């Protein structure tokens, strides 16, 4: 039997519908969740992501604005703008769109954002809160992946999760979140010897590499849940994931497609974090 497809687009829409109701209630109480996105330069991919974030915010009633700055903006100027946003009580969530121009130190910028407004969940304080299981803003892509697994009641506790990829924004945090959910977690990366040996043991296989078809049926344990995080643009302009979907769907029990998989969930979790920021973290 072919795998059941976890449709991220549909799930994202359901979550947005629920958020719309919640935001409407908050607005009645006088609280308008507000996201400010800072965009520097003319990177077309970044521009398109930021546009998507504004559109999704509007769909749920979250107020949002974009501060667009030229490529030549100095680090000092950017830090000053972030300080102003940190001090502005009407702004609940701050997101600086990455990547930044080379003359600006990314980590310095991330660490300058008030952790209580860090809706991307990249600030070291929030990473620490996540690792210790405290209430925090979970990084959006990993948060989306866990939400997708839970939406299908896929057992996580006691399961062997194998993650390919160890980036700070996807691989590492998704492993941590699933460890918090009592999974047994194995990380693989470009230096892993015999990748297949590990992936064949996975009850849940998460692939976040950024190379098309790096995983095919031979790497997948029959009945596994396969989450494809990769977004790769082919020469013909179409998008594809890291997993050979046509092969994998005949071996796996659940699979996420690309597009309409993890991608739409990422923005949705950003909105969820913005609402959380407006309401305040439990630890505040
Ligand atoms: P990175 O490039 O930061 O990380 C890629 C990881 O894959 C690294 O850990 C690297 O290992 C590992 N890797 C590379 N080649 C191999 C290989 N042949 N075998 C095993 N491991 C390998 O990417 P990101 O984590 O930022 O993103 C991964 C993918 O997910 C990209 O396609 C990106 O576009 C997509 N993405 C999708 C999102 C969504 O919303 N759906 C959000 C964010 C990213 P090493 O560490 O040793 O170099």
Q: What is the pLDDT of residues 120-168, one digit of tens each?
A: 999 999 999 999 999 999 999 999 999 999 999 999 999 999 999 999 9
- Ligand 1 pocket residue status of 165, Cβ below 6 Å: yes
Residue 85: both structure tokens together: 């946003």
Q: Can you tell me the distance from the alpha carbon of 86 to that of 61, in angstroms, rounded to the nearest whole number?
A: 22
Residue among 9, 120, 208, 262 to mutate when testing ligand 1 (max atoms within 8 A of CB) = 208
**Res. 26: pLDDT tops 80:** yes
Residue among 43, 121, 141, 190 to mutate when testing ligand 1 (max atoms within 8 A of CB) = 190
Contacts of 163 (CB under 8 A, 6+ apart): 171, 174, 175, 185, 186, 187, 188, 206, 208
pLDDT of residue 223: 98
Q: Can you tell me the distance from the alpha carbon of 7 to that of 255, in angstroms, rounded to the nearest whole number?
A: 9
pLDDT mean over 175-185: 98
Sorting pLDDT into bands at 50, 70 and 90, what band is 282?
Answer: confident
Ligand 1 atom 8: the closest Cα is on which residue?
Answer: 165
Whether ipTM exceeds 0.95: yes
pLDDT of residue 246: 97
pLDDT of residue 1: 86
How many CB atoms lie under 10 A from the CB of residue 84? 12
Q: Can you tell me the distance from the alpha carbon of 21 to that of 25, in angstroms, rounded to the nearest whole number?
A: 6
Sorting pLDDT into bands at 50, 70 and 90, what band is 284?
Answer: low
Q: Can you tell me the distance from the alpha carbon of 33 to that of 271, in angstroms, rounded to the nearest whole number?
A: 9
- Ligand 1 pocket residue status of 166, Cβ below 6 Å: yes
Active site residues: 53, 97, 120
Q: Tell me the average pLDDT of the chain.
A: 97
Domains of the chain: 30-114 (3.40.50.10860), 140-263 (3.40.50.720)
Ligand 1 atom 25: the closest Cα is on which residue?
Answer: 167
**CA distances in angstroms from 11 to 7, 18, 147, 151, 254, listed in the order given:** 6, 11, 9, 8, 15
- From the CA of 167, how far away is ligand 1's center (Å)? 6
Ligand 1 atom 35: the closest Cα is on which residue?
Answer: 230
**Res. 97: pLDDT tops 90:** yes
Whether residue 262 contacts residue 228, with contact meaning beta carbons closer than 8 Å, is answered with yes
- From the CA of 234, how far away is ligand 1's center (Å)? 16
How many CB atoms lie under 10 A from the CB of residue 158? 10
**Res. 283: pLDDT tops 90:** no
**CA distances in angstroms from 181 to 83, 130, 133, 153, 227, listed in the order given:** 35, 12, 10, 13, 17
């Amino acid at each position: 039997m072919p795998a059941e497809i976890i449709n991220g687009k549909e799930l994202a829409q359901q979550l947005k519908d629920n958020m719309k109701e919640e935001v409407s209630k908050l607005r009645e109480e006088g609280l308008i969740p507000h996201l400010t996105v800072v965009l520097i330069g003319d990177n077309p991919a970044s521009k398109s992501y930021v546009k998507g974030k504004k559109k999704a915010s509007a769909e749920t009633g979250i107020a949002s604005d974009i501060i667009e700055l030229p490529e030549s903006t100095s680090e000092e100027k950017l830090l000053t703008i972030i300080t102003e946003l940190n001090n502005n009580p009407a702004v609940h969530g701050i997101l600086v769109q990455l990547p930044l121009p080379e003359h600006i130190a990314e980590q310095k910028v991330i660490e300058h954002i008030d952790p209580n407004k860090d809706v991307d969940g990249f600030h070291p304080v929030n990473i620490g809160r996540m690792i210790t299981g405290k209430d925090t803003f979970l990084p959006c892509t990993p948060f989306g992946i866990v939400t997708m697994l839970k939406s299908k009641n896929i057992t996580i506790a006691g399961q062997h999760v194998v993650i390919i990829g160890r980036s700070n924004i996807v691989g590492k945090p998704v492993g941590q979140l699933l460890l918090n959910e009592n999974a047994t977690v194995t990380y693989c990366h470009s230096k892993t010897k015999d990748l297949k040996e590990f992936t064949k043991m996975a009850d849940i296989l998460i692939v976040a590499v950024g190379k098309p078809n790096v995983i095919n049926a031979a790497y997948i344990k029959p009945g596994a849940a396969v989450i494809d995080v990769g977004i790769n643009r082919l020469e013909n302009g179409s998008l594809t994931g890291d997993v050979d979907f046509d092969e994998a769907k005949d071996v796996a029990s659940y699979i996420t497609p690309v597009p309409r998989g993890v991608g739409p969930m990422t923005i949705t979790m950003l909105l969820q974090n913005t609402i959380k920021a407006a309401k305040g973290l439990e630890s505040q």
